[in-house]
């Protein structure tokens, strides 16, 4: 037994550092990301969260499914999709007007608008420092094992700030 405890004390800090900064596993609860996550209402998805691109490289991409700390409940993690990044202009459907994303912030939405508290209806733009990692794969249940696709609804983004900005026809007069 003493050998087990010695090994635990030796490896525990390495494990904590690994799951905090490199990769972790998260059980996704709720229907805000349906049908991308929790497609089966009887089984919650267990997902792989890659953290290097956000925590070390600060490389955020539109369409990523991100894990973040809730802006209003700092001990709760949320899973939402990045729709727009700093300096982009996004159509805010709840307010019926465009919103320019401030520097250091992003716009996050759940794939299931009826079941999601997100930038549209609760938070507005969210600070990039709250992003914890990027969901890359569903790893449980076995019949759902797959990679998580990066995409975003093009009708939400009015102007994409990436050097070559583009305007959507529906909102050109804005």
- 97 catalytic residue (yes or no): no
Among residues 61, 107, 53, the alpha carbon closest in space to that of 83 is found at: 107
Q: Which of 51, 53, 80, 97 is catalytic?
A: 80
Q: What is the 3-state secondary structure (H, E, C) of 114-135?
A: HHCCCHHHHHCCEEHHHEEEEE
Is residue 32 part of the annotated active site? The answer reads yes
**Pair of tokens at residue 113:** 């608008």
Looking at the DSSP assignment, which residues form a beta bridge with residue 7? Answer: none
144: phi then psi, degrees, rounded to nearest 5: -105, 5
32, 51, 116, 119: which is the annotated catalytic residue?
Answer: 32
126 alpha-carbon distance from chain centroid: 11
What is the set of active-site residues? 32, 80
């Amino acid at each position: 037994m003493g050998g087990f405890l010695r090994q635990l004390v030796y490896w525990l800090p390495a494990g904590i550092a690994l799951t905090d900064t490199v990769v972790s596993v998260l059980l996704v609860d709720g229907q805000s990301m349906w049908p991308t996550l929790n497609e089966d209402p009887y089984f919650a998805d267990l997902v792989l969260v890659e953290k290097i691109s956000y925590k070390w490289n600060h490389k955020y991409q539109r369409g990523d499914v991100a894990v973040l700390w809730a802006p209003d409940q700092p001990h709760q993690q949320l899973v939402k999709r990045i729709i727009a990044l700093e300096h982009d202009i996004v159509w805010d459907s709840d307010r019926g007007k465009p919103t320019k994303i401030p520097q250091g912030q992003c716009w996050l939405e759940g794939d299931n608008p009826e079941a999601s508290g997100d930038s549209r209806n609760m938070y507005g733009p969210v600070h990039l420092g709250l992003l914890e990692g990027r969901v890359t794969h569903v790893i449980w249940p076995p019949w759902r094992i797959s990679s998580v696709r990066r995409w975003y609804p093009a009708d939400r983004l009015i102007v994409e700030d990436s050097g070559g900005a583009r305007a959507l026809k529906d909102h050109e007069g804005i």
